[in-house]
Each structure stands twice: as C-alpha cells, then as structure tokens.
Amino acid sequence: MSVITLTTDFGPGEYVAQMKGVILSLLPGTTFVDGSHEIRPGDVLEAAYLMEVMVPAFPPGSVNVVVVDPGVGTGRKALVVRYAERTLVAPDNGCLTAFFDEATAVHEITEESLFLPEVSATFHGRDIFAPVAAYLAGGGTLTGVGPEFSGEPVRVEGLHAEGEHGRVLHVDRFGNLVTSFPGQSVTDRARLEGPQGIVERTARTFSEVEPGLAFLYAGSGGRLEVGVSGGSAAKHLGWGPGTELRLRSDA
Amino acid sequence: MSVITLTTDFGPGEYVAQMKGVILSLLPGTTFVDGSHEIRPGDVLEAAYLMEVMVPAFPPGSVNVVVVDPGVGTGRKALVVRYAERTLVAPDNGCLTAFFDEATAVHEITEESLFLPEVSATFHGRDIFAPVAAYLAGGGTLTGVGPEFSGEPVRVEGLHAEGEHGRVLHVDRFGNLVTSFPGQSVTDRARLEGPQGIVERTARTFSEVEPGLAFLYAGSGGRLEVGVSGGSAAKHLGWGPGTELRLRSDA
Amino acid sequence: MSVITLTTDFGPGEYVAQMKGVILSLLPGTTFVDGSHEIRPGDVLEAAYLMEVMVPAFPPGSVNVVVVDPGVGTGRKALVVRYAERTLVAPDNGCLTAFFDEATAVHEITEESLFLPEVSATFHGRDIFAPVAAYLAGGGTLTGVGPEFSGEPVRVEGLHAEGEHGRVLHVDRFGNLVTSFPGQSVTDRARLEGPQGIVERTARTFSEVEPGLAFLYAGSGGRLEVGVSGGSAAKHLGWGPGTELRLRSDA
C-alpha cells in the first residue's frame, strides 16, 4: 500500500499521467494522491508553501514528489529528504524549504541506474523523479539514490514574513489570499496594507462578515489569509502571488 | 477495497489533497474517486444536482462526501445519510437534497472523538468530514458518528422545476446547459424561453444538428439540456447557472 | 491490480466520475490514472497526439480508454486495439491513429450484453466504454467484446507533418506548442514559420534561452516544440491547436 503524492506546475494532464505510468510500471498497486498541479509555472515559492501545508496531512511512509523545475536540464541538483517519517523528492531549488530545518536526512539523487534509460532535457519529472519515487516507495533506501548531501540545500526566500514585511504566497480557488504572515498575527489590532488597499477587519469564519467586505482570518494552513465572503479577495483587492504586503499592529 | 468519493467547490488542489491525506492516514488503501471539484464556490444547488447524477453510478458500499460549505464554522449541522446501500456525508445545507426522500437513515455528525484533534474554523472538509468518511468506509456505523437526526434536513430549492418555471443548474465543460426540467419534457412541442433567447429545436444527438444551432435534448443525467453542436450553448445563449427559464408546450 | 487510464474532453468532473463509478461497480479495486480530460472539445487530433505520447508510459496490461467523441449516438463504430501488451478502447474516429500500424489486434465493440442496461444517446463513455474497459481489465478477451474488425479504422489527418508542412497539435500548460514535426528536425538550420511569426533559435533546455524569446527544442514527447523561457509561446506567438506551420531548413 505505497502512497506517492505528486505536486507540480504541469496542470493535471499528460505530464502527470506519464509520471504515474512510469511509477505503476515499476511499482504496481501504488496509491496516488494529486497534491496540486495548478502551481503557477515556475513559482517555487508557491510550491514551497503548498508542500508545507500538505505534507503533514499525508501519511507517514508516504513519498511526496514536488516538481516545479524551471532549471530542468541545467546543473541544478536533485534531492531526497526524510522528514517526520515522510520522504520528499524534489529538485534542489527551494521547493522543500519548509522541511530542511527538521529533516533527519538529505541525500542527493545521483544513482543513474534508477533513471529511465533515456533522460530528456526538459522532463525530469518522468525520467528521474518518477522512477526514484517508485524506488523509494517500494522500500529503497536514501543511500540507494545517492550519497548524503554535503552542501547547503537551496532555500526559497519569502516563505515567512520578516517583521512587518511579507507577501502573498498563494491564491486558492475561492480567491482567498494566503500570506507569509503567521495565523497568530490575526488580532483586533492587525492592519494589512498592500497596493491600493488596506484590510483591518478580522473574523473567524466567512459567514461572520457581510458579503463583499475583505477581512483577515487565521487560515487552515496556519497563515494569515485575506478573504471576501461570497467573493474573491484576489479580485476585490487586485492582489496576487508575490504582491508585497505590510502588516501593522495599530496602537 | 473501500471507495470514497469527494465532491467539493475547492478546485482540484491542496484542500482535496489534505482530505485524502487525512483519510489515507486513517484508512490505508482507500480508493478515491474525484466527483467534481469545479462546483461554483458556494453553489449548493449545483452540488445537489451533481450528487444526484453521480451517486447512482458510484458502487454500493461507497462513501460519498460532498463539501460545498459556505456556512462552515457556524452552527450548521453535518449529516450522514444512507441511501441505496451508499453512504453520503455532507454539511446540512441542501447538498444531499436528492436523497432524503428515499434515505433509509439520516444521522447527525456529533462524535467529536472522530474529528482531527484541532478543528479549524474554515476547513471542516479536512478536520471533520475526512476522518468521519474514513471511519465509515472502514466499517464504522452511522450510530458511531452521532444520533439519528431528529430535525428536518435542509433542502435546496430549485432542483426540480415547478410547472413551467425552472432554471439552469449546471454548465458542463462543453457549455451544455443542464436544467431543472426533466428529460422527458423534451418533445416536439417543447419551447424553452430564457433571457434574450428561445430554443425550440430538439434532437437526440449532437450530430443531428447543424453546427452553431441551439437545441434541446434529454441529457444523460435525466434532465432537459440545451446544447449547441460544435459549440457552447452557454456562450451562444448567454445563460449560466441560476438563469431562470420557462418551458412551454406549443399547442 | 488492474490499471485503467481515462483520457477525454469531458473536463475532470461529473462525467469522468460516472465512468469510474461504473468501472468500480464492475471491477472493485481498479487503479485509475487520469490521462488528460482537458482535450479541446471534439479535437480528435489532439487526442491522438496525447495518446501517442502517454500510452508508452502506461504499464503493460493496462487498459487505456480515450473518449473524444463528437459523433456519439451516430453510426460510428467503437474499437478495442491491442498494442505493445496494452489494450486501447475508443470510438472509431481517429483517436487511436498512432497505434494501428503496430497493433496486433483490432476488434469492433458489438457485444451489447456488456453495456449498461440503458445506453444514452450522448454518453457512451459511461454506458459502453466504461463497462467494456472493466470487462477487459478484469481479464475479458477481445473476442468477448466483438469480432475482429474487418474494415479500415479511421485515421485522423495531420498527426505527422508532411515534408515542410505541419501544424500545432497541442498546447501544454506552460504555453509550449507541440507540433507535428519530429523532434529530430530541431537543428541549427531549422526555421519555423507560422502566422506573423518565425522562430529560428534552438535550444536544449529552457534555461539556456533569455526570458521572453521563442525557441525550438526537441520535446519530451518526441516532437518539435516551441517554447518561451519564463513565458507562454502560445501567447507570445498567437499560435494554437491547428495553426498551420512551415518548417524550412536554411541553406
């Protein structure tokens, strides 16, 4: 009962299907969970946030692959990380930033005998990450994919706000804005400033707020989020991934 | 071989993934079917229609979760329904309207020991519905989730047309309009009126009709639908979910 | 451990879910892989390309269903094809063009006892293809679905460029344009001409090219593709599925 989760910026189509086909060819009976395939193309910061929020929900023993890989085909390295009994597989570009501090092992993927016989220049998801994930989910060891990683893994900047300065990390399907501020910063005195907009209202749930008004709340992923009841905060405020924000605490 | 189906307005991303992770952590080996995650945000009527059309196709023994939940975090109740050997799990807001008349049991979800240790204010899909679904799919009883529901469950209005008056319930990917009129009302004398448009042509299949022309047909879900061969009826007519319609029978 | 893959133009919603429900009702424990459900409505050529690129990645023994079926409900036939130890199921409209030359068997689907009791006029995916796929994945024989196909199966035109003349087959989520020219035609002297645009630059990976510039590369699916580093070639050039192209080799 191996569980492999896949998170990419590929969209839910032919690329993800090929990864699953490769994995099932090597490890029949794998259970797949699609994390998200809607990450903005190349947005490693969004990938890092989504992995942070999803991985704890995935079961111990699961192998969690994230491929947002604008540097595919260059010299960027590839990593396997062990974190809280889960295994994480990704290019070394910051997608796994949330996990390095508490990782119990980080290995570099170098064992080419695990890869597909022909490795393309543009699709390591299928040719490298999929077969490596199958190997690991089938009981393979981290040492089997390559040596302990001696360098410092790449971390993406901006995953956590620094003081007053943060940003939008992700917009969900409702148009809610997930920010780099912690959920605990939602207090009666909080005041979030962004381009052409300020949000000061706070609430616990959407139904507390009059439709059409923007408000701050502590999101289910542990971050300060901005919502509009019955509407899209992203549209309402014109903010989106990367929008810079400032969080003040009114005296 | 437990089957759990998930239908939401979350989009196919991180929220659905977290629900699946929670379920797999509790019930390894679960088979998931994604019903739809493209329901319009908060549109309980569309959810009710989609459940009506999908649930009969899902296998007996399956646990079918629908979470379209604009009232999350308020006092709205949550239900488990047994219908035709299937189990349905949802907030008590009308998502399960199609099933109450023939339900063999309706229980309220109250057993907090089944929930995740920390229940968020905005994501009961992950914190309540997912673990309850895992419990039920793993053989748990309705009594185990809470007592028989003593009240009258909430029903959504508009799922079935009343006389001549109906509406659009759902637009599929082709732009076909699914209405609240029954499929049997497609007759040679039918005449469907909506804003700035009237459709009188009827057909059995798309290829019978000249491209670009709107027509009525009995859809595969048992409803009167409006299609345009080689095009989108929704775009062609400018109608969408909620559009009010009138169905006349020309004498 | 039966694997069934599903590829359609239905979008990832209620139609695909019904197909999976029908299959699981007949063959519990089936593992599903979603190929793509984002094919342009009715675009058999795109379907043919996507099957060409995906099927080799799916495991031997898998049953691969593709339903892009603008002629549903008419007299068009339905086929089962055996190719490289995989089984393919589709309407006879060209979706399987890539496989006929090397197919080891082609049968017509005629055995109505396999179908759902009531076959709709518009949704053979659920009523015919799903139960037939379950039958085959459960060990059924090609003869069991119908006799050897005596006619010539329908092939879609344009899957492979003829000489200098080709076209766009598919646009992926990044906006990369997959063409009907082979990947080997990417050489230093290649020059791709389309409406209001010419692309001459070539590269092996995206990171070799300055952001915003279009270039040719040999894609992971074996075709000449056009990309824009950090952007969408489709938007940049204004090309899309069906756009006619001319590939010259500068002397």
Of the residues A1, A38, A51, A173, the best mutation for testing chain B's interface (the one with the most B CB atoms within 10 Å of its CB) is: A173
Q: What is the DSSP letter of C146?
A: -
Q: In angstroms, rounded to a whole number, what is the distance separating the alpha carbons of residues B101 and B160?
A: 14
Q: At residue A6, what is the residue type?
A: L
Question: Residue A73: its pLDDT value, please?
Answer: 84
pLDDT for the residue numbered B186: 96
**DSSP summary character for residue C162:** B
Q: How far is CA C17 from CA A220, B179, C187, in A?
A: 28, 20, 44
* Residues in chain A within 8 Å Cβ distance of C1: 28-29
B242 touches chain A (CB under 8 A): no
- Tell which residue, B204, B208, B213, C103, has the closest CA to residue C92: C103
Between CA B235 and CA A236 the distance in angstroms is 25
For B17, the closest of A34, A205, A207 (CB atoms) is A34
| Coil vs helix vs strand at A44 | helix
In degrees rounded to 5, what are phi and psi of residue B42? 80, 5
Q: Across residues A79-108, what is the average pLDDT?
A: 98
Q: How far is CA B138 from CA A126, B27, B32, B65, C15, in A?
A: 34, 7, 14, 14, 27
DSSP summary character for residue A29 = T
Which segments of C28-68 does DSSP mark as H helices, in order?
Answer: 44-54
Query: What average pLDDT score do residues A40-51 get?
Result: 98
| A251, pLDDT greater than 70 | no
The strands making up A31-34's β-sheet, listed across from edge to edge, are A31-34, A3-8, A63-67, A86-91, A78-83, A105-108
How sure is the predictor about A156, in pLDDT bands with cuts at 50, 70 and 90?
very high
B50: contact with C, CB 8 A cutoff: yes
Provide the token pair at C51. 């099957």
The CA–CA distances, whole Å, from A229 to A117, A218, A236, B122, C99 equal 52, 15, 11, 12, 51
A40 half-sphere exposure, CB direction, 13 A CA radius: 17
First to last CA, chain B: 54
Token pair belonging to B244: 């009010």
- Our separate counts of H helices and E strands in chain C read 6, 13
Across the interface, which of A11, A25, A127 has its CB nearest the CB of C59?
A: A25
Nearest to C16 by CA among C31, C1, C37: C37
Chain A residues touching residue C218 (CB < 8 angstroms)? 121
pLDDT at A44 exceeding the cut of 70: yes
B60 touches C at CB < 8 Å: yes
Average model confidence (pLDDT) for chain A? Answer: 97
Check C3 against A22: CB less than 8 A apart. no
Looking at residue C74, what is its pLDDT?
86
Mutate to test the interface with B, among A7, A206, A223, A228 (most CBs of B within 10 A): A206
- Cite the beta strand spans of C137-243 per DSSP E: 165-171, 177-182, 190-194, 197-199, 214-218, 223-228
Spatial CB neighbours of C47, under 8 Å, sequence gap ≥ 6: C7, C9, C39, C66, C68, C95
Per-residue CA distances from A105 to A78, A79, A102 (Å)? 14, 10, 9
Sheet with B165-171: strands ordered across? B197-199, B190-194, B244-249, B165-171, B177-182, B223-228, B214-218
B164: which 2 tokens? 């001549």
Tokens of C189: 């002297």
Chains touching A (at least 3 CB pairs under 8 A) are B, C
Any chain B CB within 8 A of the CB of C242? no
Q: What is the pLDDT along chain C (251 residues), one digit of tens a residue?
A: 699 999 999 999 999 999 999 999 999 999 999 999 999 999 999 999 999 999 999 999 999 999 999 999 888 999 999 999 999 999 999 999 999 999 999 999 999 999 999 999 999 999 999 999 999 999 999 999 999 999 999 999 999 999 999 999 999 999 999 999 999 999 999 999 999 999 999 999 999 999 999 999 999 999 999 999 999 999 999 999 999 999 998 75
Give me the residues paired with residue B6 across strands.
Answer: B34, B65
Instruction: Write the CA distances from C21 to B3, C29, C125, integer angstroms.
Output: 10, 11, 12
Distance separating alpha carbons of residues C181 and C161, to the nearest angstrom: 5
| Tokens (6 digits) for C72 | 């549903």
Q: C72: distance to nearest CA of chain A, Å?
A: 23
pLDDT mean values, one per 10 residues, chain B (251 residues): 95 98 97 98 98 98 97 93 98 98 98 97 97 98 97 97 97 98 96 96 94 96 96 98 94 58
Q: Cα separation of A97 and A107, whole Å?
A: 15
Q: Given an 8 Å threshold on Cβ–Cβ distance, is B62 in contact with C24?
A: yes
Q: What is the dihedral of CA C134, C138, C144, C147, to 10 degrees?
A: 70
Look at residue B250 in the predicted model and tell me its pLDDT.
Answer: 72
* A46: helix, strand or coil: helix
Percent of chain A with pLDDT over 70: 99
> Most C CBs within 10 Å: which of B173, B202, B208, B217, as the mutation test of the C interface?
B173
Gap between the Cα atoms of C128 and C89, Å rounded: 10
Q: DSSP assignment, residue A126?
A: I
8 A C-beta contact, residue C214 and residue C245? no
Residue A75: exposed, middle, or buried by beta-carbon count in 10 A (0-12, 13-18, 19+)?
exposed
Amino acid identity of residue B45, one-letter, is L
> Which chain A residues are closer than 8 Å to C50 by Cβ?
13-14
At residue C251, the pLDDT reads 58
B13, B72, A6, B55: which is closest to C18 by C-alpha? B55
Neighbours of C102 (CB within 10 A): 9
Q: Which of C237, C234, C138, C220 is nearest to C177 (CA)?
A: C234
Spatial separation of the C-alpha atoms in residues B186 and B247, rounded to whole Å: 10
Yes or no: say if B235 and B176 are a contact pair by the CB < 8 Å rule: no
Q: Are A4 and B17 in contact (CB under 8 A)?
A: no
Q: Does A13 touch chain C (CB under 8 A)?
A: yes
Residue pair C218/C184 in contact (Cβ under 8 Å)? The answer is yes
Q: What is the 3-state secondary structure (H, E, C) of C81-123?
A: EEECCEEEEEECCCCCHHHHHHCCEEEECCCHHHCCCCCCCCC
Among C72, C181, C66, which Cα is nearest to C119's? Answer: C72
pLDDT tens digits, one per residue of A60-88: 999 999 999 999 988 899 999 999 999 99
Cβ–Cβ pairs < 8 A, chains A and C: 97
What's the pLDDT score for residue C249?
86
Which residue in B226, B209, B168, B188 sits closest to C70, CA to CA? B209
3-state secondary structure chain B: CCEEEEEECCCCCHHHHHHHHHHHHHCCCCEEEECCCCCCCCCHHHHHHHHHHHHHHCCCCCEEEEECCCCCCCCCCEEEEEECCEEEEEECCCCCHHHHHHCCEEEECCCHHHCCCCCCCCCHHHHHHHHHHHHHHCCCCHHHHCCECCCCCCCCCCCCCECCEEEEEEECCCCCEEEEEEHHHCCCCEEEEECCEEECCECCCHHHCCCCCEEEEECCCCEEEEEECCECHHHHHCCCCCCEEEEEECC
Q: How long a stretch of residues is chain A? A: 251
Q: What is the pTM of this model?
A: 0.97
Query: C87-97 in b/e burial notation, b at 16+ Cβ within 10 A?
Result: bbbbbbbbbbb
For chain B, say whether C14 makes contact (Cβ under 8 Å): yes
Q: Which residues of B touch A177 (CB under 8 A)?
A: none
Q: In this model, does residue A187 exceed pLDDT 70?
A: yes
Is residue A216 within a helix (H) or strand (E), and if so which, with residue range? strand A214-218
Task: Report CA dihedral (B54, B59, B61, B62) to the nearest 10 degrees.
Answer: -50
